[in-house]
Amino acid sequence: MNPATPIAGDFVSLLAAHKLAALPSAPSSTAPVQTQATTVFAFHYADGILMAGDRRATAGNVIVTDRVDKVIEIDASSLLAIAGVPATAFEMARVLQTSFEYYRRSQLQPLSLPAKVRALARLLRENLPMTMQGVGVVAPLFAGLDQTIHPAKPRIYFYDPLGAQFQAVDYVASGSGSGTIRSILSFQERYGSPHPSQMKLGEAVKFALRLLMIASEFDSATGGVNPATQTYATIKTLGSKGVESLSDEQQAAFLK
């Protein structure tokens, strides 16, 4: 096969065949102060996977906004959580959304979960020049449904900024507040009752919100949860029925 010939249904290969880069980059001797988005995490609960993120973005010691949505629905059966530079991460999300839909329409079937996982790894590798310069670094989380088994089972993956991919068995976190969140998740999974994997939706949402509250006390880049100011998280779940979003009103009700 000619290397320039795109593989059927592969949107990124199609871009390359037309000499278009999914994530164009150019070397630079100076790096601007970057906007950073943290913190995100995901864990298995009784009915699937809960993925959440605070809504703060910072640039150095400046709070840019507390209204960023860091958990993105890529298609009906997959989620992406971004930690790092949102400009790059949002572009990756848009490429994935287009790529998955392009494959579905051109091949008349959805892309498999392993192929989706590799597609994100490929985008991270293509972002390597920016990563090596310290500009545009992204360390995302990904969740998708494994539809090769019945009922379909959701799985969680995490990546390093160079594109290496790993499956998380129980939980995972990324971003500046991830250390605190991983520690609490580990404790709860080992010694707590109920374990996160045993929690029903209401318990899981309350637990996630409290995780962000605690993380924000130890990390200034993590935006907390404050019912008094109507500040909540971005929370989405993935189960056998697909993706569902939790509104601020639903979060407020579960937190009471």
Q: Count CB atoms within 10 A of the CB of residue 1.
A: 6
Cα–Cα dist 92/96, whole Å? 6
Does residue 16 belong to any structural domain of this protein?
no
Distance, CA of 172 to chain centre: 10
When pLDDT is cut at 50, 70 and 90, the band that residue 144 belongs to is: very high
Residue 2, domain member (yes or no): no
Query: Residue 36 has what pLDDT?
Result: 72
On the question of pLDDT at 1 being above 80, the answer is no
pLDDT category of residue 13 using cuts at 50, 70 and 90:
confident
pLDDT per position as a tens digit, 148-173: 888 889 999 999 999 999 999 999 99
Helix, strand or coil for residue 28?
Answer: coil
| Domain assignment of residue 83, yes or no | yes
Q: Please identify every residue annotated as catalytic.
A: 38
Bridge partners of 57, per DSSP, are 37, 65
Rounded CA Rg of the chain: 18
Q: What is the pTM of this model?
A: 0.87
Residue 22 domain-assigned? Answer: no
The tokens describing 12, both together, are 């990124």
Domain of residue 99, residue span: 33-255
Tokens of 245: 């979003």
Name the average pLDDT for the chain. 90
Give the total number of structural domains in the chain.
Answer: 1
**Region 40-61: what's the mean pLDDT?**
95
pLDDT of 201 over the 80 cut: yes
Give the model's pLDDT for residue 14.
Answer: 77
Q: How far apart are the C-alpha atoms of 224 and 214, rounded to whole Å? A: 8
Q: Is the dihedral of CA 24, 29, 30, 31 positive or negative?
A: positive
Per the structure block, which two tokens stand in for 106?
């051109």
Task: Please state, for a pLDDT cut of 70, what percent of the chain lies above it.
Answer: 91
Cα(46)–Cα(229) distance, integer angstroms:
30
User: Does 215 reside within a domain?
Assistant: yes
Query: Above 70 in pLDDT, residue 7?
Result: no
Q: Centre a 10 Å sphere on the Cβ of residue 231 and count the other Cβ atoms it contains.
A: 17
For residues 226-249, give the mean pLDDT.
94
Q: Looking at 59-134, list the stretches that DSSP marks H as alpha helix, in order from N- to C-terminal side.
A: 86-107, 113-126, 128-132
Q: Is residue 245 part of a domain?
A: yes
Is 122 strand, coil or helix? helix
CATH code for position 143: 3.60.20.10
Question: Is 237 among the domain residues?
Answer: yes
Does the pLDDT at position 251 exceed 60?
A: yes
Does a structural domain hold residue 189?
yes
Token pair for 210 = 């409290």
Contact call for residues 189 and 183 (beta carbons, < 8 A) = no
